[in-house]
């Protein structure tokens, strides 16, 4: 997987892959970092400035085992993401396994479905977690 992969190519790849193939991909430390870097880069680029104009929130993602932590800061129409916990307190913390994360961000699995099956845990502001899906194009 290259750092230049487009969002459409990534969604297509994840759609065609089995859970075990995705788990193997995320088990490679170099691939994992490239994939997560690109996901958060594309994700932040897709922020809907109209819907987030009045939003200020920190969403902390704890992904996989061993966990990778990413903080997304949505602030008045802008989005930044950093690897590792930032210095600010998270409004919402979402803990999810690698495969479930890939499935949910490519819209192949719903967050509520993953919550119900225990593959995703949300702590903090549930309303932020529920609204954030609409914040991105």
For residue 1, the model assigns a pLDDT of: 63
pLDDT tens digit sequence for 41-75: 999 999 999 999 999 999 999 999 889 999 999 99
Question: CB pairs under 8 A, 24+ apart, for 120-125?
Answer: 120/94, 120/95, 120/96, 121/94, 121/95, 121/96, 122/92, 122/93, 122/94, 122/95, 123/92, 123/93, 123/95, 124/90, 124/91, 124/92, 124/93, 125/57, 125/91, 125/92
Which CATH fold would you assign to the domain 7-135?
Answer: Nonspecific Lipid-transfer Protein; Chain A (3.30.1050)
Q: What is the reported pTM?
A: 0.90
For residue 66, the model assigns a pLDDT of: 86
Domain boundaries, the chain: 7-135
**pLDDT mean over 27-33:** 93
Average pLDDT score over the chain: 92
In this model, does residue 88 exceed pLDDT 70? yes
């Amino acid at each position: 997987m290259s750092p230049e992969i487009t969002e459409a190519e990534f969604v297509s790849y994840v759609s065609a892959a089995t859970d075990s193939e995705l788990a193997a991909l995320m088990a490679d430390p170099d691939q994992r970092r490239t994939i997560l870097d690109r996901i958060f880069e594309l994700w932040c680029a897709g922020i809907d400035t109209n819907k987030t104009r009045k939003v200020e929130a920190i969403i902390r993602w704890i992904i996989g085992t061993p966990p990778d932590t990413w903080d997304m800061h949505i602030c008045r129409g802008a989005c930044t993401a950093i690897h590792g916990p930032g210095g600010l307190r998270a409004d919402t913390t979402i803990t999810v396994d690698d495969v479930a994360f890939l499935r949910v961000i490519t819209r192949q699995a719903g967050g509520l479905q993953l919550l119900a099956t225990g593959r995703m845990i949300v702590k903090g502001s549930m309303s932020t977690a529920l609204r954030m899906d609409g914040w991105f194009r």
